Amino acid sequence: MHPVRFSGRGLYIITDGPRLDLLAVTRQALEGGARVLQYRDKTPDHARRREEALALKALCAEFGVPMIVNDDVALAHAADADGVHLGEDDGDIAAARATLGAQAIIGVSCYDSIDRARAMAAAGADYVAFGAFFSSPTKPDARRAPPELLRQSAALGVPRVAIGGITPDNGGDLIDAGADYLAVISAVFGADDVRAAARRFADLFPHSTPNGPTR
């Protein structure tokens, strides 16, 4: 069993691409209780993405929250991010670990596959992500995953992240099925009140307390 680098439970927020108020709304989500941030931006503007990743890393450090980069190991390294999240076409765990170091958080998308989750956990993933559990505006054609996957993966010994169309109304069922984290994009970053939206998700987890800047 590899060392645990990622633990706990709560709201896992994923940014929604280029926006002028990215830092402001991310701060609001962290104030609302988000426990993990993933920076996701698929555009080719490398200079802006590096600048934003560095700024988000500093913001997350202020709140004591890990900052993870979506799909881009080189950007994660350049921004001194806490880790990277890999899809099925984004390279392997060993290569990411070699670049980012032994303590990096490396998460992996496992979609609707318990077999992939088993293989990724054995390869050293720090968490596995399943979904989409519900219809998602971000990926409307995503493969659908049944909540039973969360129960089946309990024996893997790594945290389980649920993603895809999750709301405060349906998220509780996924937590009951075994999700350690609820990963959310539009239901937080598309809300009129980002802080309140994050708080509604955070409140689904027992003993949740608001984040505040670390001193």
Q: What are the residue numbers of the active site?
A: 40, 109, 139
Task: Please return the burial class of 117, using the count of CB atoms within 10 Å of its CB with bins 0-12, 13-18 and 19+.
Answer: buried
Encoded tokens for 2: 């590899």
Contact 2, 168 (CB under 8 A): no
> Rounded to whole angstroms, how far apart are CA atoms 29 and 192?
12
Which of 85, 92, 99, 95 has its CA nearest to residue 185? 85
Using omega within 30 degrees of 0 as the cis cutoff, is the peptide bond preceding 132 cis? yes
| DSSP line for 53-68 | HHHHHHHHHHHT--EE
Single out the residue of 188, 192, 199, 194 nearest to residue 165, CA to CA.
188
Backbone angles phi, psi at 38, to 5 degrees: -115, 125
